[in-house]
Structure 1
Amino acid sequence: MLPPAQTRSRSFEMADIEGPVLIDPWDKDGLALDRLDPLPALPFRYPDGWMRPIELRILYTLARRSAGPVLEVGSWIGRSSSAIAAGLRDGVCDPKPVYDIIDFGPCSAAEWQQRFGQKLNIEMGGGHVAAAVLHPGGSMAVLIDNMRRNDLLGHVTSIIRGDVLETPLGRRYGMIFCDAVHGEVEAKRTMPAIAALAAERALFVFDDVTTEAFADTICSYLKPVRRFLLSGKDTYGKLLVVEHHAPAAPAKPAGSAPRPVPSLETARQRRAAAGAIWRDTFAAHGIERSVILASTFRSGSTYVSSLLAANGLPGLSHERFADAWRHIVDPPGEAFGAFLNTALSDAHGGCFATKLMWPHLARLAEATGHGRDEAADLGALFRPARWIQVCRADKVAQAVSFWRAKMTGRWQVYATEAEPEPEYDFLAIRNALHEIELGDRLWDDFFARAGIEPLRVTYEALVADLPGGLSELLSALGLPAEVPAERVGLRRQRDSYSKALQERFLGDFYRV
């Protein structure tokens, strides 16, 4: 997906493109554009986007020859995905290769602004950008609809809403299309993880690369055998294709290796700069206290935050520090101040309320120069604060829910439609379980080191005695608790398929 600053104002219509189908589209100078396969027509037109027909032909041609697995990072609403899926459909491999898609999938104007640092422009992309973000379920739902109506959804293995650095994918890929590296900062942040996801021999395709200098930067993270930069043959082209060959190594989840520990002086300077910006911004917004809901994914935190909003404490459903990763490279300055200003923009009555997932706190700690030994100082940034820790007792049920949400992109549901049923994946569910358990342990460690005693809410206990549990929580927060509102618009997503997945997963563990 393109960041807003690089979004163009119009999409390109498909042209009738004819050409020979050859086994090898490469020649001595790179990809031979006259050897690309013709792009097939679809039942409906290719979705809106910024890729030109020549770029779609390249993706289709390469996917058609790929044995996979295939990964797409940054799909938006499916223009590139349609070309890749069609190529896999029309390829000769049997069975068809695995095809995973991961994208941020923004689903509100607030999330867009928080992730990209600017307001959602209704006119952007001729209006299709805002239409996708504001669609029920956001751009991820539009992607799924587009793939389904073009009969291509069956060629997609999984669709994940999230950040590739925070998502344990558990595979090494033979082809990776990446639309998530748009400059030196993003390359430094993302390329080590992208490279670690590649098989020993892999084909990379990068969007928005137009100069040899930036191509050199990207290739510095790879082991290139040969490469092709479309802008060298086509003035308007912006794809970089790289053949990569690296010695085999054990697969690692993206982002699993810790970054180097900064020097004591560097960390001290970062804390000082971030602290000054933090204090000034909090003062400018009149923030007098904070309420932070700390949790792990699929713990029931959205249900708890919705109950609290219905009883006079709004704002806890927003993960306002999800984009803290954007500020871990450069020292805190104007960009960090703008990020914090956006996070505080809808505080009510001097109270700043936010949800914090563990990965978001960890990236915020890096951005502000706080390590594990400075947990107390990090927690003090929010003072005076009341922390609420939401946990789920049934970790396996939580892991199945977490994995299923990542596969389908459906994190909250308000309608009555049936839930999609992704194909069972033991390793992926096990990775989700490990991530959840580790997140809970790290929250406990943070609270202990910071000297914080949070209000602890267990999802199952709250549901079992909603009137009593909710009244107790509201009283602890100083909110009226006599007749609490107990109805929220969320629909429970757990169903018989979730139960079947849980039973199968536990049964498989007996054979591991």
Structure 2
Amino acid sequence: MVVALRYSTNGERYDFPPFAGPPPVRYVLASSPRCGSNMLARALWHTGVAGFPEDYLADTYVLDYFERWGFDADDPDGLPAGHVRALMRCRTSPNGVFGIKVHAGHLAALEVDPHELLGAPRYIHMVRRDRLRQAISYTVAEQTGVWIVDGTHLPTGRASSTPRYDHDGIRRHLRLLDRDAATWARYFDRHGITPHVVVYEELLARYEDGVRGCLAFLGVEAPERIPAPGIARQADEATSRWVARFLDEAAPSERNSLLSGGC
């Protein structure tokens, strides 16, 4: 029977060979929407030595794997633990590395803290200096339903092919991103975590160095060649026009704050 999945990357053809036992290296790619985490996640996956970090705890991903496997409601460890245990068998790279991606906005809705669920994993924290471009990208993705361009994910929700400038929407997403940054700061402080920080703009400028730095943090040997991430950047000339328009409409104090962040 062919299973219709929301994301084709959740299918068997993207699995690693079955891995027996708990993976010795586990990590969380801590992120916020439109920070470049999809790029880094795919970059790490394509190395073949860093698992395949995806949003496995998000509802749409859980539903995809429910379609593939079903879950035992009587599992003594509960659904999240059973779900992750099954994922570890097929999404752990042969060298024993398993990763998941978690957005700050999803933390409150999760039944189990990822830190407890994975047993004190390592954390790679993906951030983006340019908050305004991140908020604009967030706004565009919500309007179009296109969150990643790689030929495997279809648009989600009520998509529109032509995004429209939305000052209030951009401002709302700026507030959400500020909230996400505060959420991760509190989370790291609560667990005494010092994450490995990857800055999106620096990853773009020094891609191979950035990926190798993540692999070194995980304690795994990097391949001789670092493959491309296999996804397309979505920023275009319209993004720059929206940046200029928003800054023109912003109060001087807000404009200065955004510009000091790298915009």
TM-based fold match above 0.5: yes
- Note the aligned Cα RMSD (angstroms): 3.0
Structure 2 residue 243 is matched with structure 1 residue 502 = yes
Matches within 5 A, 1:175-324: 286-311=22-47, 312-316=49-53, 318-323=54-59
The higher relative CO (CA closer than 8 Å, separation ≥ 6) is in 2
Structure 2 residue 142 is matched with structure 1 residue 406 = yes
**Which range moved further: 493-502 or 348-357?**
348-357
Structure 2 residue 202 is matched with structure 1 residue 465 = no
Mapped contact 2:42–2:52 kept (Cα < 8 A): no
* 2:201 maps to amino acid: E
Structure 2 CA distance for partners of 1:403 and 1:305, relative to 1, 3 Å: same
Identity, in percent, stands at 28
Match of 2:122 among 383, 386, 389: 386
SS of the aligned residue for 1:345 comes to helix
The number of residues matched between the two structures is 217
What is the CA–CA distance in structure 1 between the aligned matches of 2:201 and 2:140, rounded to whole Å? Answer: 19
* 1:315 maps to amino acid: F
Give the superposition deviation at 1:489. 1.5
SS of the aligned residue for 1:293 comes to strand
| Unaligned ranges ≥5, structure 1 | 1-120, 124-129, 137-283, 327-332, 371-377
* 2:50 maps to amino acid: L
Mapped contact 2:40–2:229 kept (Cα < 8 A): no
| Unaligned ranges ≥5, structure 2 | 10-19, 63-72, 152-159, 255-263
Q: CA offsets per residue over residues 133-160 of structure 1, 9 Å max, x none?
A: 4689xxxxxxxxxxxxxxxxxxxxxxxx
What is the CA–CA distance in structure 1 between the aligned matches of 2:82 and 2:127, rounded to whole Å? Answer: 29
Mapped contact 1:323–1:360 kept (Cα < 8 A): no
Match of 1:432 among 167, 173, 191: 173
> 2:13 — aligned with what?
none
> 1:363 — aligned with what?
109
Match of 1:353 among 99, 120, 138: 99
* 1:404 maps to amino acid: V
Mapped contact 1:393–1:458 kept (Cα < 8 A): yes
Give the superposition deviation at 1:446. 0.8
What is the CA–CA distance in structure 2 between the aligned matches of 1:285 and 1:341, rounded to whole Å? Answer: 13
Q: CA offsets per residue over residues 128-186 of structure 1, 9 Å max, x none?
A: xx3x84689xxxxxxxxxxxxxxxxxxxxxxxxxxxxxxxxxxxxxxxxxxxxxxxxxx
Q: CA offsets per residue over residues 101-140 of structure 1, 9 Å max, x none?
A: xxxxxxxxxxxxxxxxxxxx748xxxxxx3x84689xxxx
* 2:57 maps to amino acid: F
What is the CA–CA distance in structure 2 between the aligned matches of 1:440 and 1:430, rounded to whole Å? Answer: 16
Hey, which of these two has a bigger chunk of strand by percent?
Answer: 1
Structure 2 CA distance for partners of 1:467 and 1:493, relative to 1, 3 Å: same
* 2:52 maps to amino acid: G
Give the superposition deviation at 1:437. 1.6
> 1:189 — aligned with what?
none
Mapped contact 1:344–1:352 kept (Cα < 8 A): no
Give the superposition deviation at 1:345. 2.0
* 2:44 maps to amino acid: L
SS of the aligned residue for 1:487 comes to coil
What is the CA–CA distance in structure 2 between the aligned matches of 1:134 and 1:301, rounded to whole Å? Answer: 17
Give the superposition deviation at 1:360. 1.8
Q: CA offsets per residue over residues 378-412 of structure 1, 9 Å max, x none?
A: 63442342110000010100000011001101011
What is the CA–CA distance in structure 1 between the aligned matches of 2:241 and 2:85, rounded to whole Å? Answer: 42
Mapped contact 2:44–2:51 kept (Cα < 8 A): yes
What is the CA–CA distance in structure 2 between the aligned matches of 1:293 and 1:359, rounded to whole Å? Answer: 13
Q: CA offsets per residue over residues 316-337 of structure 1, 9 Å max, x none?
A: 1x2111139x9xxxxxx74872
Structure 2 CA distance for partners of 1:499 and 1:387, relative to 1, 3 Å: same
* 1:427 maps to amino acid: D
* 1:295 maps to amino acid: S
What is the CA–CA distance in structure 1 between the aligned matches of 2:26 and 2:208, rounded to whole Å? Answer: 25
Structure 2 CA distance for partners of 1:383 and 1:484, relative to 1, 3 Å: farther
Structure 2 CA distance for partners of 1:424 and 1:381, relative to 1, 3 Å: same
Structure 2 CA distance for partners of 1:444 and 1:135, relative to 1, 3 Å: closer
Structure 2 CA distance for partners of 1:477 and 1:420, relative to 1, 3 Å: same
Give the superposition deviation at 1:287. 4.2
* 1:468 maps to amino acid: D
Give the superposition deviation at 1:315. 1.7
Matches within 5 A, 1:135-146: none
* 1:363 maps to amino acid: A
SS of the aligned residue for 1:410 comes to coil
Mapped contact 2:135–2:174 kept (Cα < 8 A): yes
Q: CA offsets per residue over residues 464-499 of structure 1, 9 Å max, x none?
A: 122322222222222223634141220111000111
Q: CA offsets per residue over residues 291-344 of structure 1, 9 Å max, x none?
A: 11000001000101111111121221x2111139x9xxxxxx748723432333
Hey, which of these two has a bigger chunk of helix by percent?
Answer: 2
Give the superposition deviation at 1:346. 3.0
Q: Give me the TM-score of the superposition, normalised by structure 1.
A: 0.39
Structure 2 CA distance for partners of 1:455 and 1:484, relative to 1, 3 Å: farther
Q: Give me the TM-score of the superposition, normalised by structure 2.
A: 0.72
